[in-house]
Structure 1
Amino acid sequence: MGESRRKIPNPIKREVRQRCGFGCVICGLPLYEYEHMTEWAKTKRHVADEITLLCNRHHAEKTRGLLPIADVVKANENPKNLRSGDSAPYDLHFSGETCLVSMGSNRARHFFSQSPVANALVIDGFPVIKFEKISDHLLLSLRIERRDGKRILEIDNNELKYSIDSWDIELVGTSLTVRGGLRKILAEIKFDPTQGVTISRGTFARAGHVIRVEPDYMFDEKRNVRMSNSFVDGCPGWAFAF
């Protein structure tokens, strides 16, 4: 019985995420847990309409009786992210004297002793993936877009926000995946607070100049150039420029 409770089927999880706007229905935070609005002990079943998303704070408040179930049900009917169109911002955390940015099979490592700014990907002179060290804070900025230029997700100095106008968005552990449909991944990012960031899939654009990242390569659509298995180590200023 306990095992069944832990394993909510993936299609039901996805339905719950879609209905709840891919975040806590109360505050919108993308760090969430699946919560049965009526306690499992009473229902002993997994039904999407009976499950919602709560961040760990609001989940704990509900469990301890500090958050009325009626308030959870009301928020579930009109989730925070569906009202705003974006996820609530979440602050990422990075630290260290170096950073590693992986894009497909290409990697760039930067030493902050050389420069406080690491421009990992530059398009037409503009840094679209950047780490910057200010005092003891290591800050990441990047933006991933759809083919039509519409933003999928954006990180501005570690503040992560994403548009909920996607078929599915899932943050599990340190991995963020955005899907446009079954087996159609639009963006796939893994955050490593002590190392940097790995981008397996995504589209980066600047004034119509598009760089597409796939698991094995980067592709410059403007110049029809593919790049794979490159490693830039300790290059100050920028790593990959198109």
Structure 2
Amino acid sequence: MPSLPDLTAEQRADIRQACGFACVRCGVTIYRYLALPDHSGATLLCPTCHGLVEEGRLTATQVQSFHANPVVRQRHFARDRLPFSADLPQLIVGGARVLRDTPIPITLDGEPILVFAPPRRTNGATRISVRLGNSEGEPVQVIDGNEWMPTNGSWHFLLRGDRYSMMAARGDGLAVLRIVARNKIAVEHLRTTIRGRRLEVTPDWLEIDGKRHVDRIGSGTLIGLEM
């Protein structure tokens, strides 16, 4: 069951709609596209579940079964614990204020570190993009509009309770996003170095090149803080 990197935008949109905009097995809204075993199309699996397929711990038959009945469409699934919201999320990052209407809270050296966008369809999930430095300090797109981009094991993804965690296999790249509510996200911890500039962020402060700041990110603007 290979991944499908060459899908058209229309095909990707149809797959997302069919799968409920999330991993069909666990409901995580960060995903990769995977060809179905019967060649009837493709499905969505989060990086963790995708890894189970690659390890042979999740069979083709099981994947087909999950695709036929995605967990997010089942009555017991708690959508409130994951970012399924038609609105741009409120953000808890870098200070006491809750940021509203701020799609890009931080850019570093011209690189948008985090980008948040409402779903293309009202029943979809908040679109999250994450861009961090690799072990050499070069910017890498780790997540692009909820799609998990790394395919070579250079980055790892974990769902830990209500937290989406992304970690570099080498270097200090790290981003932990806590889902406070379906329309509120806290940047629990972010750490990266891009072209020699080091950034660290928590809900309470941000530190750039060794200098700490509080409440510096603007609210209600396209880019909250350019550094």
TM-score by length of 1: 0.47
Which protein is richer in strand relative to its size? 1
Structure with higher Rg: it is 1
